[in-house]
Amino acid sequence: MAEQYRIALDAMGGDHGLSVVVPAALEALKQYDDIALILVGDETQIQSLLAQHLAVAGNRLRIHHASQVVQMDEAPAVALKNKKDSSMRVAINLVKANEADAAVSAGNTGALMATARFVLKTLPGIDRPAICTILPSIKGHTHMLDLGANVDSEAEHLYQFALMGSELTKAIDDNPNPRVGLLNIGQEAIKGNEQVKAANALLQGSPLNYIGYVEGDDIYLGDVDVVVCDGFVGNVALKTSEGLAKMVSSHLKQEFTANLFRRFAALVALPVLKSFRRKFDPRRYNGASFLGLQGIVVKSHGGADSIAYANAIGMARTEIIKQVPQRIHKQLEHLHAQRIKA
Amino acid sequence: MAEQYRIALDAMGGDHGLSVVVPAALEALKQYDDIALILVGDETQIQSLLAQHLAVAGNRLRIHHASQVVQMDEAPAVALKNKKDSSMRVAINLVKANEADAAVSAGNTGALMATARFVLKTLPGIDRPAICTILPSIKGHTHMLDLGANVDSEAEHLYQFALMGSELTKAIDDNPNPRVGLLNIGQEAIKGNEQVKAANALLQGSPLNYIGYVEGDDIYLGDVDVVVCDGFVGNVALKTSEGLAKMVSSHLKQEFTANLFRRFAALVALPVLKSFRRKFDPRRYNGASFLGLQGIVVKSHGGADSIAYANAIGMARTEIIKQVPQRIHKQLEHLHAQRIKA
């Protein structure tokens, strides 16, 4: 039998909990025949949901009971202290105990990051883990980090994000030399804040394929593979994009249903609208990587449906196959050796 | 004769200089019968452009010669020192000398801000001027500041931005009680960086209609009138939106021209596409206000065409009519008196 990649799912996490995670797990098992999934959460509830889907736990799907749930608005420190048997915590414990190769959760981002960091620890040489996501671009896609794990990032942190993002991109895109850009507010060297200027100097001296400053629009234009920024800035950029997309689709919907002729127009334009949705469907891009940890943790969007959640499982699988944490670790050691020599 | 609002135009500024500013001026004179425009720049070139448009300087349009031009990539400090007879500088001088009621420029933003600040000075009580723009939202539009005049804004600066944005919105939207939100990365009080948390405390104690933290998506959702943020963050949000819009329209264009059927679909969908363009056309929103100065300066997008530029002239006219700097000044004095009493 071929190798099986074991992924622990925080079955209770997210806005929709089990009602999304269980069908997503069944979908992912169909999509990938080389994975085994562990549903972590309330055993009785999981059993009942599985029954509703005419499915049973078996060879590639098992249940691991956990008695608590981290709430979506719970403070990370509180979750860390009081929810030691939460589905989130137990899923990550399984990674730590090497009973799973990765964990996926749609739960509270802050609590997930705090728990992952506490249980798995950061890789040597990494001060702060970062959250990295994939966004569509005119020419393909762009990786962007950090998306909110860190605020007030120092230059050294931005440098570490660049290194991690570059390594992730090499691994999962089979791109040997990803172009790394540092997010700034102008291509001119005079602009930007102190941290960004100092990070620019560090990156210019690094072996990364650093292409210099990029601006917000470059995220979507396709001439950079990895966009590096502080978590506050990255989170605002991501949420702003979500808001703009919501406004545009709300407007299109309204316009295309305004009267009978418009409904006909929508019908005729359907292939275009479908291809549009296919390309930009945020579900395709669901699954943000927590980088810099001694283990793989993937965050699904809290509001994700089962198709989106299955994509997050797919991302975890890819990171296992490509050994992302090991690669980042190796690259860090390599750079550290170079820095000592220099 | 009715009052005339006098607006000085930096005729040489922007990516396209005279070839946009001259037709924009003629367009604006047609649109608004209560304005008089001063084209500041190379007299010979302006005359020749006017002749090409079968127009002449007259009662409502005069030329003011300036011998220099600030380049789009020139360092602000260099422009300030070496370009004392630039079209940009002279246009602002005319405001200072009370020969114009406002200045409009599509030139280098950094140089324009540095020059405006140097020549006009900030209002008493304002540490840093800010750049404020209007963005479309599901329910109407949103004002957002700062967009890049300041990086590393302290809490007190964010507080001043909130006050200025609120006053601008009251004035130009006839909105007596604008909802002011502070851009953060989560509605939970625990998130955010130190400056944002401190600004939140200041704003909670202010007489503004402060609704608390908002996130990036709220810019476009229509439940906040003024979004306040540091210039680095605001600039990234704005540019990110531009990039996303470019990607979407590039994709739509490609899809709607892919084959004959698609071209037919485009024809049928034309009313929708047109209404879409009308609502989201960035030209409609051209004209960012420099707030906090003792005078009115409006920045047109560097790449604006004449229709967009005419809108920036319209924004300057509105700010003159509504006496925006005077209102901000009065509000500052009022708050200062309150703070002393408290």
Closest to B333 measured CA to CA, from B143, B184, B123: B123
Q: What is the pLDDT of residues A103-136, one digit of tens each?
A: 999 999 999 999 999 999 999 999 899 999 999 9
The Cα–Cα gap between B302 and B282 comes to: 13
- The CA distance from A223 to the nearest CA of chain B, in Å, is 12
Closest to B108 measured CA to CA, from B127, B89, B94, B82: B89
Nearby residues of B66 by Cβ (< 8 Å), 6 or more positions away: B12, B40, B41, B42, B85, B86, B87, B89, B90, B91
Q: Going edge to edge, which strands form the sheet with A140-145?
A: A61-65, A35-41, A5-10, A102-105, A297-299, A288-291, A130-137, A140-145, A226-228, A179-183, A209-214
Cβ of A268 within 8 Å of Cβ of B268? The answer is yes
- Do B80 and B112 reside in the same domain of the chain? yes
> Is the pLDDT higher at A297 or at A127?
A297
Cβ of A255 within 8 Å of Cβ of B237? The answer is no
- Do A196 and A310 reside in the same domain of the chain? no
ipTM reported for the complex, 2 dp: 0.87
Chain A residues in contact with B266 (beta carbon < 8 A): 269, 272
Cα–chain-centroid distance for residue A304? Answer: 12
Tokens in use for A240? 């702003």
- Do B142 and B280 reside in the same domain of the chain? yes
Chain B residues in contact with A246 (beta carbon < 8 A): 138, 217, 220-221
For A205, the enclosing helix (H) or strand (E) is none
Residue A20: pLDDT above 60?
A: yes
> Is the pLDDT higher at A275 or at A234?
A234
Q: Average pLDDT in the B150-170 region?
A: 94
Chain A residues in contact with B279 (beta carbon < 8 A): 251
Nearby residues of B119 by Cβ (< 8 Å), 6 or more positions away: B89, B92, B93, B95, B96
- Do B93 and B157 reside in the same domain of the chain? no
Q: Decide which of A259, A274, A290 is a domain's last residue.
A: A290
Q: Which residues constitute the domain of residue B86?
A: 1-123+292-323
Cβ of A185 within 8 Å of Cβ of B231? The answer is yes
Residue A154's pLDDT is: 93
Cβ of A217 within 8 Å of Cβ of B243? The answer is yes
Q: Residue B79 maps to which CATH number?
A: 3.40.718.10
Chain B residues in contact with A128 (beta carbon < 8 A): none
Interface test with B, best of A247, A267, A276 (most B CBs within 10 A): A247
> What proportions of chain B, in percent to the nearest 5, are helix, strand and coil?
50, 20, 30
Cβ of A216 within 8 Å of Cβ of B152? The answer is no
Length of chain B: 342
Residue at B334 is within a domain: no
The Cα–Cα gap between B223 and B212 comes to: 12
Closest to A21 measured CA to CA, from A300, A254, A317: A300
- Do B156 and B175 reside in the same domain of the chain? yes
Q: Residue A95 maps to which CATH number?
A: 3.40.50.10950
Total number of domains constituting chain A: 2
SS3 B232: helix
Residue A280: pLDDT above 80?
A: no
Q: What is the pLDDT of residues A221-245, one digit of tens each?
A: 999 999 999 999 999 999 999 999 8
CB atoms within 10 A of CB A137: 20
Closest to B233 measured CA to CA, from A216, A198, A212, A228: A216
- The CA distance from A191 to the nearest CA of chain B, in Å, is 9
Residue at B339 is within a domain: no
Q: Are the C-beta atoms of residues B164 and B296 closer than 8 Å to each other?
A: no
Residue A278's pLDDT is: 76
| CB-count burial class (<10 Å; 0-12, 13-18, 19+) for B300 | buried
Residue B164: pLDDT above 90?
A: yes
Per the DSSP assignment, residues forming a β-bridge with B226 are B143, B180
Tell me the pLDDT band of A1, cut-offs 50, 70 and 90. Answer: very low
Residue A127's φ and ψ, nearest 5 degrees, are -80, -40
Residue B188: pLDDT above 70?
A: no
> Is the pLDDT higher at B248 or at A20?
A20
The Cα–Cα gap between B43 and B228 comes to: 41
Bridge pairing between strands B226-228 and B179-183: parallel
Residue at B183 is within a domain: yes
CB atoms within 10 A of CB B160: 29
Alpha helices in chain B (DSSP H): 18-31, 43-52, 76-82, 87-96, 109-120, 155-173, 194-204, 218-221, 231-256, 260-268, 270-280, 306-321, 324-341
Nearest CA in chain B to A249: B138
- Do B87 and B142 reside in the same domain of the chain? no
Q: What is the pLDDT of chain A when averaged over all its residues?
A: 91
Cα B337 to Cα A335, B168, B209, B257: the distances in Å are 58, 21, 19, 62
Residue at B103 is within a domain: yes
Q: Are the C-beta atoms of residues A224 and A194 closer than 8 Å to each other?
A: no
The Cα–Cα gap between B47 and B56 comes to: 8
Bridge pairing between strands A179-183 and A226-228: parallel
Residue at B333 is within a domain: no
Nearest CA in chain B to A75: B190
Closest to B310 measured CA to CA, from B27, B2, B88: B27
Q: What is the pLDDT of residues B189-247, one digit of tens each?
A: 456 788 999 999 999 999 999 999 999 999 999 999 999 999 999 999 999 999 998 88
Q: Are the C-beta atoms of residues A73 and A82 closer than 8 Å to each other?
A: no
Residue B12: pLDDT above 50?
A: yes
- Do A111 and A172 reside in the same domain of the chain? no
| DSSP state letters, A7-55 | EEEETT-SSSTHHHHHHHHHHHHHH-TTEEEEEEE-HHHHHHHHHHTT-
Bridge pairing between strands A5-10 and B288-291: unpaired
The Cα–Cα gap between A310 and A53 comes to: 16
Q: What is the pLDDT of residues A22-79, one digit of tens each?
A: 999 999 999 999 999 999 999 999 999 999 998 887 889 999 999 999 999 898 999 9
Q: What is the pLDDT of chain B when averaged over all its residues?
A: 91
Query: Which residue among A220, A236, A237 places its CB closest to the CB of B247?
Result: A220
Say which amino acid occupies A145. L
Cβ of A236 within 8 Å of Cβ of B229? The answer is yes
Residue at B330 is within a domain: no
Residue A284's pLDDT is: 83
Q: What is the pLDDT of residues B18-50, one digit of tens each?
A: 999 999 999 999 999 999 999 999 999 999 999
Residue at B210 is within a domain: yes
- Do A199 and A261 reside in the same domain of the chain? yes
Chain B residues in contact with A240 (beta carbon < 8 A): 216-217, 219-220, 237, 240-241
Q: What is the pLDDT of residues B97-144, one digit of tens each?
A: 999 999 999 999 999 999 999 999 999 999 899 999 999 999 999 999
- Do B148 and B283 reside in the same domain of the chain? yes
- Do A141 and A277 reside in the same domain of the chain? yes
Q: Going edge to edge, which strands form the sheet with B288-291?
A: B61-65, B35-41, B5-10, B102-105, B296-299, B288-291, B130-137, B140-145, B226-228, B179-183, B209-214
- The CA distance from B245 to the nearest CA of chain A, in Å, is 8
Cβ of B136 within 8 Å of Cβ of A245? The answer is no
Residue B191's pLDDT is: 66
- Do B252 and B309 reside in the same domain of the chain? no
Q: Average pLDDT in the B91-101 region?
A: 98
- Do B286 and B151 reside in the same domain of the chain? yes
Q: Are the C-beta atoms of residues A78 and A115 closer than 8 Å to each other?
A: no
The Cα–Cα gap between A320 and A331 comes to: 17
Residue A273: pLDDT above 80?
A: no
- The CA distance from B142 to the nearest CA of chain A, in Å, is 12
The Cα–Cα gap between A244 and B19 comes to: 32
DSSP H helix total and E strand total for chain B: 13, 11
Residue at B341 is within a domain: no
Bridge pairing between strands A226-228 and B140-145: unpaired
For A87, the enclosing helix (H) or strand (E) is helix A87-96
Tokens in use for A147? 């998306």
